Amino acid sequence: MEAFSDGVLAIIITIMVLEFKVPEGHDWHSLIELSPKVLSYIFSFIYIGIYWNNHHHLLHMVRTMNGRLMWLNLILLFWLSLIPFTTAWMGESQFAPTPMALYGIILLLAAISYRLLQLAIISQHSGDSAFVKSMGRDWKVKISPVLYLLAILTAYVGPWVSGFFYVLVAAIWVVPEKRIEHILRSE
Amino acid sequence: MEAFSDGVLAIIITIMVLEFKVPEGHDWHSLIELSPKVLSYIFSFIYIGIYWNNHHHLLHMVRTMNGRLMWLNLILLFWLSLIPFTTAWMGESQFAPTPMALYGIILLLAAISYRLLQLAIISQHSGDSAFVKSMGRDWKVKISPVLYLLAILTAYVGPWVSGFFYVLVAAIWVVPEKRIEHILRSE
Amino acid sequence: MEAFSDGVLAIIITIMVLEFKVPEGHDWHSLIELSPKVLSYIFSFIYIGIYWNNHHHLLHMVRTMNGRLMWLNLILLFWLSLIPFTTAWMGESQFAPTPMALYGIILLLAAISYRLLQLAIISQHSGDSAFVKSMGRDWKVKISPVLYLLAILTAYVGPWVSGFFYVLVAAIWVVPEKRIEHILRSE
Amino acid sequence: MEAFSDGVLAIIITIMVLEFKVPEGHDWHSLIELSPKVLSYIFSFIYIGIYWNNHHHLLHMVRTMNGRLMWLNLILLFWLSLIPFTTAWMGESQFAPTPMALYGIILLLAAISYRLLQLAIISQHSGDSAFVKSMGRDWKVKISPVLYLLAILTAYVGPWVSGFFYVLVAAIWVVPEKRIEHILRSE
């Protein structure tokens, strides 16, 4: 299951580049016109990178593979497979409200699928209370859907407001946890 | 053989997304126009997901790899590799009769190839009668071609009739067997 | 090296399908217009299938990996990576002479690269004379370049003459050796 | 991490071929018009081949995987994922100055990312001074960024000057080290 998922994620991350159509001009100016596409690509690259990393760790905790886990995993991959499309739309529309909202909807649905997969795997470790605790209190997994929801709701307020929440989700996943804990404590 | 097959399936499932051309408009309406494509993508995603899962289990039962098995496997992958095309045609034509019939033809040929591969693997276990029995009576593998045939024949009657059979095949594979057995028994 | 090569071959075999542009019509007639493309796809699918199978076995005989083997392998993958392009050109031109000749040139260069890789691996087994003999007398590897050359030279005579040699190469690789030996003996 | 990286590299190397649009003509002349694209493809194929080979060896030296290594690896893959785009632009513009400079910029950023990944892995072996030495004095990794910088700066002088440096980088990586040492010594 891991090899297949890794393959799908590797393809998703790479086919997004196919959206960068070769510009007609041969100067820096024609390259700058691509910048909204590049920016949205960077975002999605980071998101897929985060998923790949966490998904990897999650699958290692699977005790016995079964049909339910397999389908929960496929549902997660389904939502992730739509990211190249929403990324391209967001970039091409230069961060128009609807594409930005759709981006959040897809990410929200992926996050919910991830949580369901995680809960199904946690339930396999019901005897190991320490494990259940550590997984159960995964605050990043819990807070991300809330931030995606805020990004969706503010998409029509302005791209910068919505974009702020997308940056925030990426940041809490990319920045190592210890540093975040330190920041939270010092506040 | 498994790594190669997994790779091919992962690519098939992901390149289907390349069919979602970025809409020119930036509103929900232009997204709704994509819905036939999305719907046909969902179908094919589920079908490839089913194949990936079953194919995976099937290859684990191979005792000795040989040229015959390898070619039977490649023939199966050949038919599956045509799914992105038929999916795109079905979506773009908004479920016109001919694309819907072709979709069933490709799925039927894939199902027959799968059965041939399965029979070739069963023949390697000729001594183990319990195994042969359990594999031989794989009712899902036997009934699917019949349902595909019905979907093909009814494609010109109406998309809903034909579509019903496609949903039915997906359902009997996705829904866990025990539940189905329970339903059948209670009837 | 095997995982990377398998990945490249899996992608090559699958991206060829992207050439099947969805037809504008929704009837069988518009599908029939695709038939030259489908036919050339079938050919290339078989060729890549043959390479995948043989390449797989060949890499298992590698004793120590080194830079030379790695580059010989990459050169082979380079020629194979051009197959989707030549396949598409051959199909789109409805088997015009030049695309058919180019198809043979790419296959010839791939075959030569394969032979060089094979010879480099054989040289690692110089002590094992039985192995060297069995690999050295690999008549299929030796005769294929000759047949490709004939296909190239006859491309301007007519597509059927050239096509005959392409079918012949595919046939001698696909048909199990024992059967061929039997045919040759009975003649 | 290796399987995912291998997958991404395999896809990058293969999707570059999708840039070879089937020519409208069916003669050798229309093929020759593709030559700038083919030439830039050959370059990128070699570069990705070099990265794949070195990256492979590098990852084998990882002692304990952690978030930092994972993100350094993803940053490297990010720059490499932009190679198909710059390759296509360079080919389509027939080696115009700006695309050639961009090609170098992407390669330079990839080279810097590779060095950072290498240094992070070296720091895991701080006790093993022999290892640190052998990795630390990796002159190819150190000289490549300088040559890329020269290629970028000379892109506006002329394609041949800039191209010379790209060939030079490829050459020092492809030609086995012993031969280079021999050449350097004999000078």
Q: Each residue of C24-79: pLDDT tens digit?
A: 888 899 899 899 999 999 999 999 999 988 888 888 888 888 888 989 999 999 99
CB A6 within 8 A of CB D7: yes
- Predicted local confidence at residue C163, as pLDDT: 93
- Predicted local confidence at residue D21, as pLDDT: 87
Residues of chain B in contact with residue A70, where contact means CB-CB under 8 angstroms, are: 49, 53
How does residue A186 score in pLDDT terms, banded at 50, 70 and 90? low
Helix (H) or strand (E) holding B7: helix B2-15
User: Token pair of A23, please?
Assistant: 């510009």
Q: Are B68 and C176 inside 8 Å of each other by CB? A: yes
Name subunits touching A (3+ CB pairs < 8 A).
B, D
Query: How many angstroms separate the CA atoms of B50 and C46, rounded?
Result: 25
Nearest CA among B10, B18, B5, B40 for reference residue B167: B40
Amino acid at B181: E
Query: Range with the lowest mean pLDDT among A14-23, B122-131, B167-176, D16-25?
Result: B122-131
Query: How many angstroms separate the CA atoms of C163 and C147, rounded?
Result: 11
Q: Are D176 and C68 inside 8 Å of each other by CB? A: yes
CB A95 within 8 A of CB A159: yes
Please state the ipTM of this predicted complex: 0.88
CA distance D146 to chain C (A): 24
CA distance D95 to chain A (A): 9
Sign of torsion, CA C153 C157 C163 C164? negative
Q: Region B21-43: what's the mean pLDDT?
A: 91
Q: Provide Rg for chain A, Cα atoms.
A: 18
Residues of chain D in contact with residue A176, where contact means CB-CB under 8 angstroms, are: 67-68
SS3 percent helix, strand, coil of chain D, rounded to 5, is 80, 0, 20
Q: Are D10 and C15 inside 8 Å of each other by CB? A: no
Q: Are C15 and B11 inside 8 Å of each other by CB? A: yes
Q: For residue C16, what is the nearest residue in chain D, using CA coordinates?
A: D18
CB A147 within 8 A of CB A121: no
Contacts (Cβ under 8 Å, ≥6 apart) of A53: D67, D70
Taking CA atoms, B32 is separated from A97, B23, B36, B87, in Å, by 16, 10, 9, 18
Torsion of CA A24, A26, A31, A33, to 10 degrees: -40
- Predicted local confidence at residue D182, as pLDDT: 61
Question: Which of B6, B15, B17 is facing A4, going by the closest CB pair?
Answer: B6
Residues of chain A in contact with residue B53, where contact means CB-CB under 8 angstroms, are: 67, 70
- Predicted local confidence at residue A20, as pLDDT: 87
Q: Are A81 and B13 inside 8 Å of each other by CB? A: yes
Question: Taking CA D29 as the corner, what is the angle to CA D28 and CA D33, rounded to the nearest 5 degrees?
Answer: 115
The C-side interface with D (CB below 8 A) comprises 3-4, 7-8, 11-12, 15, 18-19, 67-68, 70-71, 74, 77-78, 81-82, 84-85, 88-89, 92-93, 96-99, 102
- Mean pLDDT score of chain B, rounded to an integer? 87
Contacts (Cβ under 8 Å, ≥6 apart) of B49: A70, A71, A74, B13
User: Which residue stretches of chain D have pLDDT < 70?
Assistant: 131, 133-137, 176-187
Higher-confidence position of A181 and B64:
B64
Query: Range with the lowest mean pLDDT among A53-57, B112-116, D85-89, D101-105?
Result: A53-57
Residues of chain D in contact with residue C82, where contact means CB-CB under 8 angstroms, are: 17, 20
Looking at residue D122, the DSSP 8-state letter turns out to be: H
Residues of chain A in contact with residue D4, where contact means CB-CB under 8 angstroms, are: 6, 9-10, 52, 56
User: Token pair of C187, please?
Assistant: 């003649």
- Predicted local confidence at residue B180, as pLDDT: 54
pLDDT in tens, A65-98: 888 898 999 999 999 999 999 999 999 999 999 9
